[in-house]
Amino acid sequence: MLIADEFFLIAHNDSRGKARLHPAATGLGLAGALLGELVLFGHVTVANGLVTVIDRRPPADALSHTVLDQLIGEPQHQEIRTWLAFLARSSTTSVGERLTRAGVLRRQESRRLLRTTVSFVPVDLNAVAWPATRLRALLERPDPPAVPDAVLLGLVTAAGLSREVLWSAGPRAQHRLGVLVPALPPPLRELVAHTEAAVGAAVLRGIP
């Protein structure tokens, strides 16, 4: 799975597909993960608060392709905080739909009065629980996690989801989680830091 997919499952580890986070934190965490995928794919970089496209060739993943096209189509907007806020508006739905296409989730609509609510419920509860379990096991191992896993752990922490990973972990795992982000490559370290700042600001302002 791509890191935004695993972030989504950790944030919605519930039989009803209910989010465990404030909606703004969920959206921003997923937005950070979508940008992180493009950094890991080598299509964009992050420096000095700006997102810069460095490879315009389309990624294999359709959602990543869409996000890259949006970045290319708005060259006047490079501020990472702007892109986090923009992508956060649709990231929960877009990543949920990607997981639905993969057969991991099932899209479900419910009508209440004049409003239709969309949720994504798990097809297999074990598959939904696996990402958090996998990350917890990685933190308990002596070898450092791979960069994509370290980015995911950084974004999980930035969004306030670390308890979902650490709930049964020992002291080693808790310590290692705290030192992973400073060891990330600079573009990814900056992405995680901006995501954390955006989540904190949005929750304080009470953005839904």
The pLDDT of residue 153 is above 80: yes
Domains along the sequence of the chain with CATH:
3-202 (1.10.3630.10)
> With bands split at pLDDT 50, 70 and 90, how would you rate the model's confidence at 53?
very high
| Residue 106 DSSP SS3 | strand
> What is the DSSP track for 30-94?
HHHHHHHHHHHHTSEEEETTEEEE---SPPSSHHHHHHHHHHHH-TT--BHHHHHHHHHTTHHHH
Q: Which residues of 46-58 are buried (b: 16+ CB within 10 A; e: fewer)?
A: beeeebeeeeeee
At residue 208, does pLDDT exceed 60? no
pLDDT tens profile 193-203 = 999 999 999 87
- Higher model confidence: residue 22 or residue 74? 74
Q: Is residue 99 very low, low, confident or very high in pLDDT (cuts 50, 70, 90)?
A: very high
Q: What is the pLDDT of residue 76?
A: 94
